[in-house]
A and B are shown apart, each in its own frame.
Chain A
Amino acid sequence: MQEIETREFGQIEIKDDDIIEFPKGLPGFPEEDEFVLLPLNDQSPFIIMQSVNEPGLAFVTVEPSTILDGYDFELADSTQDMLQLESHEDVGVLLIATIKGDIDDITVNLAAPVVFNINERLGRQIILDDENYPVKYRLEPEPAEEGVS
């Protein structure tokens, strides 16, 4: 167990097993090699990907299946090797969201999914370079119905 400082949830306690290693960091953040995934809340589809070592660094992420159908791509050998992937059952995928000033202005980066080996706790953001998958895919969120918090 260790305590870490987070951007959205203040100080929290995490287990060593919660930490996902990103041996190469992320594009733009090459030094950030450890993250934890923290659901925003019980109802929300959003998951906060919080840097373990940099309290101010957190990404809003979402599972592809919650925002669109038919999102698929082939994993390069280099990615499979780096993530030590042996079976597709070990693969997890999250997409990074960008939220501008207005909370309803949300886009999701389909061009660069974060791919995980769930068992080995390894992650890497890959770049697809596929014109069907834009960097800014707009979401059309709606407020939850009255009474649902």
Chain B
Amino acid sequence: MLVLTRKKGEKIIIDDNIELTVVEIEGNKVKLGIDAPKSIEVHREEVYRRIEEENKEAASSKDLSRLGNLVIKKEEKDSK
């Protein structure tokens, strides 16, 4: 892995058109600003990994023989 040291306000350029800015450093937290073309998707790692995991779990949903006989009770989605 490439490791670079940056100060607050400094940037990293990735591949001509992605700009990563260190916006703020506070204790063990770093606030990053990301400027990228709209075709680039940016996610917090744990959020993305959670979806990967859920997809893998979903893909191992098996024994669906009884699934066809189930009806779904619909619930109003209450806005919290």
Across the interface, A67 reaches (CB within 8 A) one of B47, B56, B74, namely: B74
The answer to whether the Cβ of B27 comes within 8 Å of any Cβ in the partner chain is: no
The number of chain B residues with a CB under 8 A from chain A is 36
Number of contact residues on A: which range applies?
A: 35 or more
A148 to B64, CA, bound (A): 17
Q: Mark A77-107, 1 if CB is under 8 A from B, else 0.
A: 1100110000000000000111111011010
B residues 34-76 near A (Cβ < 8 Å) are 38-41, 43-44, 47-48, 50-59, 61-64, 66-76
The answer to whether the Cβ of A2 comes within 8 Å of any Cβ in the partner chain is: no
Q: Which residues of A contact B79 (CB under 8 A)?
A: 70, 132
Q: Which residues of B contact A (CB under 8 A)?
A: 38-41, 43-44, 47-48, 50-59, 61-64, 66-77, 79-80
Q: Which residues of A contact B (CB under 8 A)?
A: 8, 26-29, 40-41, 43-46, 57-60, 62, 66-71, 76-78, 81-82, 96-101, 103-104, 106, 109, 111-112, 125, 127, 129, 132, 135-136, 139-144, 148-149
